Structure 1
Amino acid sequence: MRALISVSDKTGIVEFAKELANLGIEIISTGGTSKKLEEAGINVIGISEITGFPECLDGRVKTLHPNIHAGLLAIRDNKDHMNQIKELNITPIDIVVVNLYPFKETILKEGVTREEAIENIDIGGPTMLRSAAKNFQDVSVIVDPKDYAIIIGELKENKKISKKTNFYLAKKVFEHTAHYDSLIADYLRKEYEKEENKKEFPETITLTFEKVQDMRYGENPHQAAAFYKEVVRDKGFLTDAIQLHGKALSYNNINDTNGALELLKEFDKPTIVACKHANPCGVGSADDIYEAYMKAYNADPVSIFGGIVVSNREIDERVATEINKIFIEIVVAPSFTEKALEILKAKKNIRLLILDNITNKYSTDAYDLKKVGGGLLIQEVDNLLLQDELEVVTDRKPTEKEIADMMFAWKVVKYAKSNGIAIAKDETSLGVGPGQVNRIWACKQAIEHAGEHLGVDILKGAALASDAFFPFSDSVEEAAKAGITAIIQPGGSIRDKDSIEACNKYGIAMVFTKMRHFRH
């Protein structure tokens, strides 16, 4: 038997090669791998001895030769194949151990140049892998050091590798090369977009992700699930969080926490966002994080129970003490004081996560993906809060405080499911009406929730935000009854005039953003 070994990741390769050699298997190798094996006292046949041609072009060409690929692709049960390679004096290669130039590691380096990235695109490696994997009934091909033990175990026990194992390894190879090529395609597309200064939705798109963990289950216990991360990704998101305490996150935990984090990134002041089912249920900003937490909690002390709390400042002892008064699923923050951790860890099931760069937003080239039956929707991430200056459309202009309240509510409603309404005052969310099938229901829900938790008087002088235009004046009528004095909405309805007239009737100041924030 013959094995060809050529690896960039040399983890465990010397030990593996020694085992092969002890089993009487000849080893062919290339470049740095050959040198490492020879230094370990392992007999190696140089690749040039097989090809009859020297490695050239700084190692760019060494394995692209019929003496290699015929040895890999010859079907052992095909007499014509075997006669041909015999006539050509080509010996079959039975085991291939290859992993590829470190393209991923290269592009993740700070300040990497395009030339350096391209030089780390492997050509011969994927070609050998594909040849060997295509002929998996006869050839064993290994890309993952974790599989070395399987190969040695079967060779020692059975003197051969089973077809079942070879099929598993071949499947793994094509996953590996597809991932590798997808990284390259994604990198080059982004480089092209930078050079041309334009975004591109290509005719075909291949996306690649790496598994973070298997989940206990998906949205429901009967659904299997896993969590994957982008290879080249923005910092400050859940994929980079470090869990300090509590059981593993579930599918719903991750989805809901992501929604909370996206809203948190809209705020610069100390802010707490409480979320339930990916919708904000309490948001508070203040000069210190304790006050921000109390605002977020008091905004909806019912819905926050069993919810998620995210903070853009360190969690201290006072905040931890308040959090521990109720059941909270997850707390995410840039840091925790030692005393805060001691307090929070007293509860067995609470998950505590540290997330550096928690205030970072998506980069401008980020995409939002949504799977639909038989297809995939791709769009730019909604990175904007406003596109233009606010347009005052009513007789009364809003005060500076009303503008501040409107902008707070506008941030909150951006992350509520559509149809969505958010009411805010004094850097606090008062009521949120998310995900209703019509806007008036969302409006009534937000008003009712605020009244239930904080008393009807709290709405006097508050601001209301709508994620899309009012199709009728009924929402204005409800806002007026509640004592709301300022409204921010996109505008653009053929009935805008009705809403403006209603605001003028009740002395409500209304501004148009001329952009909407649907979130489905």
Structure 2
Amino acid sequence: MTRDVRSISRALISVSDKTGLVAFASRLAARGVELVSTGGTRKALADAGLPVKDVADLTGFPEMMDGRVKTLHPKVHGGILAVRADAAHQASMAEHGIAPIDLVVVNLYPFEATVASGADYDTCIENIDIGGPAMIRAAAKNHGDVAVIVDVADYEPVLAEVEASGGTTLATRRRLAQAAYARTAAYDAAISTWFAAANETFAPPRRAFAGDLAEELRYGENPHQKAAFYAGGTARPGVATARQLQGKALSYNNLNDTDAAFEAVAEFDPARAPAVVIVKHANPCGVAEGASLVDAYRKALACDPTSAFGGIVALNRTLDADAAKAIVEIFTEVIVAPDATEEAIAIVGSKKNLRLLVTGGLPDPRAGGLTVKSLAGGLLVQGRDNAVVDDMELKVVTKRAPTAAELADMAFAFRVAKHVKSNAIVYAKDLATVGIGAGQMSRVDSARIAARKAIDAAEVAGLAAPLTRGCVVASDAFFPFADGLMTAIEAGAKAVIQPGGSIRDADVIAAADAAGVAMVFTGVRHFRH
């Protein structure tokens, strides 16, 4: 046994997740390790015929206060925290009859799952673990001598090392210590976040964020950047909760773009109509509702077939065979949908690198939550943009009111504009985008780019004129001057939806009236950066 290897003579095991528990403990017991446990864990081990000592026998005190107090005792924490090479520590252990504990195996009360289940306040409070985090942190601090396991996935690696070397190596104990502190940090983050919500406090003096590693990625946005994907633990349907049915591993950019596409398609109620969103570089390049998914896809693709190549396709209904056949006609990176038929899965399977993700549902566009962006030295936190155009009171501000068909297209276009990088301009007609301008410093430039894309798409489709003729236009923010509006009118827009609120609103309205264009204000801005 090398100098940094520590043998295990006594293990304290207290787990809420009992997956693999008996098999793990059996292999420890076979090596002569004394097992000490509590409550349900001790019962599970005893029922399996394993020799196990109750922690109450170790401390001389029974569990009390409904199990709130059982491991908070010097004979537990002294056995964990004592530095084996420190003579004074050894003397204290001998004086007080404290036996060393070499392995601590603890996973915590299921607080996060309790909150996710919608449990009431008192139930959530009772699922806050106290003794578990204390033991985990103590063992992690004393990792020079003690190993700590907080994840069932570490059972086998630790056992393999113990069986091969007679104990745990320092490298392993350091790795386990990091995992232990990360677990307690995530646990405390979940508790503090829940308290903030329960107290209706949006900006507490300190806010913690945590995630579980879902996958270490090959690289980030560029090959020289390292990257990893962490799941936040919420039940919101999306890339973090999706099942990948086929295709190669998702990249950083795939994950980012798939999230953008799926959040956008969730704006379109599947009970109203099938809808498809095609995204490239985090921006929609085609969106449509249709009589069927394949119809919606064809309409979305027609908006910008050049950009759609190598894009992400999101659907608001179960992927069917007809839609799958159409989508695989061109190179596509990812398809994401609530579900997929077996026939559709087989069709997509013909493209071995095409990823197919199913989420089990759509995220609620009206739901709250937080979005987080890192800055140098800090984080920007805001509430999710959960404003939905269907809930807005549209105000007609021009002499001409929009027709019913124009209103439907306006609502459609404003849904899309919410998911286009600012400055955003969206031309739409017959519930399909016909031109999208994204991410420009000038709103006029966005309007021009969207019009140019419509011209290009018309040429590809062999049309005599771009589909912007007679369309509606949506702007994510107000027109600061009439020039952006006039560019849209020149492109063929006959109706406009925008937030309003500019000091020059009167000039913009006058320009619309002079052109015979209908305009409505939403009173809600959809900046996205």
- Partner-residue secondary structure (3-state), 1:273: strand
Match of 1:188 among 170, 195, 200: 195
- Partner-residue secondary structure (3-state), 2:215: strand
Which residue number corresponds to residue 502 of structure 1? Answer: 511
With structure 2 as the length reference, what TM-score do the two structures score?
A: 0.91
Which residue number corresponds to residue 223 of structure 2? Answer: 221
Match of 2:176 among 148, 156, 169: 169
CA deviation vs aligned residue, 1:90-128 (integer Å, no higher than 9, x gap): 22222222222222333333x533333322222112111
Match of 1:212 among 211, 214, 236: 214
Which residue number corresponds to residue 373 of structure 2? Answer: 370
- Partner-residue secondary structure (3-state), 1:238: coil
Which residue number corresponds to residue 253 of structure 1? Answer: 254
Which residue number corresponds to residue 292 of structure 1? Answer: 296
Match of 1:18 among 17, 21, 26: 26
- Partner-residue secondary structure (3-state), 2:44: helix
- Partner-residue secondary structure (3-state), 1:240: coil
| Structure 1, 304-313 or 111-120: larger mean CA deviation | 111-120
Which residue number corresponds to residue 267 of structure 1? Answer: 268
Which residue number corresponds to residue 385 of structure 2? Answer: 382
1:317 matched to 2:321? The reply is: yes
CA deviation vs aligned residue, 1:63-92 (integer Å, no higher than 9, x gap): 111122122222222222222222222222
Distance 1:449 1:420 in 2: 14
The Cα of 1:156 is off from its aligned counterpart by 4.0
Stretches of structure 1 that go unaligned for 5 or more consecutive residues are 194-198
Q: 1:295 to 1:184 in 2, by over 3 A?
A: same
Aligned partners of 1:362 and 1:381 also within 8 Å: no
Aligned partners of 2:267 and 2:365 also within 8 Å: no
With structure 1 as the length reference, what TM-score do the two structures score?
A: 0.92
Distance 1:379 1:124 in 2: 34
- Partner-residue secondary structure (3-state), 2:497: strand
The Cα of 1:388 is off from its aligned counterpart by 4.5
Q: 1:242 to 1:159 in 2, by over 3 A?
A: closer
Aligned partners of 1:210 and 1:229 also within 8 Å: yes
Q: 1:61 to 1:518 in 2, by over 3 A?
A: same
CA deviation vs aligned residue, 1:305-351 (integer Å, no higher than 9, x gap): 11111112233333233222211212222333343333332222222
CA deviation vs aligned residue, 1:489-511 (integer Å, no higher than 9, x gap): 22222222322222222212222
Which residue number corresponds to residue 467 of structure 1? Answer: 476
1:489 matched to 2:491? The reply is: no
- Partner-residue secondary structure (3-state), 1:297: helix
1:477 matched to 2:486? The reply is: yes
1:91 matched to 2:99? The reply is: yes
- Partner-residue secondary structure (3-state), 2:279: strand
CA deviation vs aligned residue, 1:224-244 (integer Å, no higher than 9, x gap): 21222221332x322222222
Which residue number corresponds to residue 122 of structure 2? Answer: 115
Query: 1:21-420 alignment to 2 at 5 Å?
Result: 21-109=29-117, 111-193=118-200, 199-234=201-236, 236-268=237-269, 269-358=273-362, 360-362=363-365, 364-386=367-389, 388-420=392-424
Aligned partners of 1:182 and 1:206 also within 8 Å: yes
Which residue number corresponds to residue 4 of structure 2? Answer: none
Q: CA RMSD in A?
A: 2.1
- Partner-residue secondary structure (3-state), 2:199: helix
Match of 2:425 among 417, 421, 425: 421
Distance 1:87 1:157 in 2: 35
Q: 1:21 to 1:201 in 2, by over 3 A?
A: same
Aligned partners of 2:457 and 2:466 also within 8 Å: no
Identity of aligned residues (%): 48
